[in-house]
Structures are given as structure tokens and as C-alpha cells.
Amino acid sequence: MSYDTGYNSNYGGGFGGGGGGFVSNTYGSDGMNNSQSGGERSISESKSRVRPVTIKQILDASQAHPDSEYSVDGVDVSTVTFVGIVRNVLNQTTNSTYRIEDGTGTIEVRKFVSADKPDGDRISGPQMGDYVRVIGELKSFFNNKRQVNGNLIRIVADYNEVIYSQLEALALHLQTLHPERQGGTGGTHQETKMAGIQPSTRSYTNENLTSLQRKVLDTLSTAVEQASNEGVNIHVISQRVGANPNTIQEACEYLSELGLIYTTIDYDHYKLT
């Protein structure tokens, strides 16, 4: 696939036009709807949400000061998601660094490996030439070099997800800049599907999952801890579901592989994508 694009804007993708009708956002990111009075959301809620972006938007993200959150389209973001192709892989003792391109830019994504199975993570992990879905935290290092600490790096099996990722980022970009075009009123939650397309990370219905896996998802969706950056500890999930932690860990790892949830501060804390 050629990633050459001609859409020269802050979004950076290859999709011209007005973007009319693209109003879906299953990741729950800010800017897509006004579900609260006046469209205002709390700072903590904004930071806890996953923002679909292009790599160019990450590279262009601004900070009010070095210790502040990054801002994309005037909205503070911490956790981002995008799809790109792996151009290089560097394996080190404690982590693997992936150089990923999406047609709008290139960025390094660092993923720390499990201490108990480092080789297994790398054997089953992405290789050069693989398309991947990334969910991670936006960071900055020396000389303001941007990097993403990957909570989830999942190989993309369906090429439609590559296209969807760009469209989703464009839709959110346009709606954040032009909220008046949504056609709704403040205080009314509206969710119009994006031309019938559903993101691959949400394409698994309950019928595809076991009873335990469904209970884990239900627990995460209703847990108050979901709103925090840390997410929900597997021991908390274990208590609420009524299963032992090892079984919950296995269920969470499987759901993570599907892209339905992802790890946060460590391998014992999870959040919904």
C-alpha cells in the first residue's frame, strides 16, 4: 500500500472534502458529541479517554508548558490510538521499540515486555511489514522527541481497520474543529454510525466470547475505576466477577489480544478501549 497523501492540513491524512456524516466514535473521545450540558467534560474524564489520531497529529501536538498534557485540536490528550505499518523493530532487554508509519508521519512506540515471558512476547509480537493497532501514552524525551509508550500493540488482520483508523481520526478532527456541524443540541447524546463501519477493536460481539469474558467486559464497563488513568486491577475484577485472579488474568489477556481492553500502569490493570 502506498501511504502517499495529498491532504495538507493539521490532520495530515489523504482524505479531502468536508467529512460530512462521519460522526461515530466508539472510543468515547472528546469532541464527538455533547453528552453533558454545554458540551463540557471534566479534565480527569478527558485524560482517561482514548483519542484516535494520526501520527502527524501526535508530532504536531502542543503543550502549554513541559509538564502539561499534550493538546490535539485544542483538547488535552494522554492516551492515543492509531494504525500504521511497522518499519523497524529494535529488541532490548526490557522492551521492544517499533518504528511505525501511517502515511502522515513516523513515530517510535516502546512496548515493555513481560518479565516472565520476554521471548514469547517477541516471537508472537509484530514484525517488520505488519500493520498494527497501537494504544498508548504520549510522551516526550530529549529535544522534544515524541514517543508513544504502548499499552497495546496488536497486529491488524483486517485491512479495513487501516482505512477505518484514518477515517475515524479525520472524523474526530473535523468535528472537534466544527462542532456546529453535528446537527445536535447541547445536552443531547447523539451517536450516528460512520457509514455503517464499525472499528475492528469493537467487532467482537458477546456471542464470540465466553461467559467469563463477557462478565469481565461488563465489570470494566461499569467500574468507577474505568474513569482513572490506572484502570481496574485484576483482583478487583476477580472479586466482582467471583473467579480466581489467574482465571481473570487469562481472560484479560485474551480480551487484550482482541483489542477490547488494554493494560495501563502494569500487567495487572486494564481499561476498555
Same domain, residue pair 132 and 253: no
Burial letters for 101-117: b for 16+ Cβ neighbours within 10 Å, e otherwise? ebbbbbbbbbbbbeeee
Burial group, residue 254, by CB count within 10 angstroms (0-12, 13-18, 19+): middle
Same domain, residue pair 117 and 228: no
Number of domains in the chain: 2
What CATH number should be reported for the domain holding residue 213? 1.10.10.10
- Among residues 159, 177, 195, which one ends one of the domains? 177
**1 in any annotated domain:** no
Q: How far apart are CA 22 and CA 182, in angstroms?
A: 9
Same domain, residue pair 131 and 213: no
Contacts of 243 (CB under 8 A, 6+ apart): 212, 215, 251
pLDDT tens by residue, the chain, 273 residues: 444 433 344 555 543 333 333 333 334 444 334 334 444 444 444 445 688 999 999 999 888 887 788 889 888 888 899 999 999 999 988 899 999 999 999 999 999 887 666 565 566 789 999 999 998 888 877 667 889 998 889 899 888 889 988 898 998 888 888 776 655 544 433 333 443 334 444 444 555 788 999 999 999 988 887 777 788 999 999 999 999 999 999 899 888 877 788 888 888 888 887
Burial group, residue 237, by CB count within 10 angstroms (0-12, 13-18, 19+): buried
Same domain, residue pair 142 and 41: yes
- Among residues 160, 177, 194, which one ends one of the domains? 177
- Among residues 136, 158, 177, which one ends one of the domains? 177
Cell of residue 69, nine digits: 498534557
- Could you tell me which residues are beta bridge partners of residue 232? 270
Same domain, residue pair 234 and 161: no
**29 in any annotated domain:** no
Same domain, residue pair 131 and 229: no
Residue 173 phi/psi, 5-degree rounding, is -60, -50
**248 in any annotated domain:** yes
Q: How far apart are CA 199 and CA 219, in angstroms?
A: 22
Same domain, residue pair 50 and 148: yes
Q: How far apart are CA 204 and CA 207, in angstroms?
A: 8
pLDDT at position 53 is 93
**238 in any annotated domain:** yes
Burial group, residue 143, by CB count within 10 angstroms (0-12, 13-18, 19+): exposed
**8 in any annotated domain:** no
Domain ranges, residue 152: 37-177
What CATH number should be reported for the domain holding residue 70? 2.40.50.140
Same domain, residue pair 140 and 69: yes
Same domain, residue pair 134 and 170: yes
**111 in any annotated domain:** yes
pLDDT at position 231 is 86
Same domain, residue pair 51 and 156: yes
**152 in any annotated domain:** yes
Same domain, residue pair 247 and 167: no
pLDDT at position 51 is 87
Same domain, residue pair 132 and 230: no
**188 in any annotated domain:** no
CA proximity to 163, closest of 193, 194, 138, 188: 194
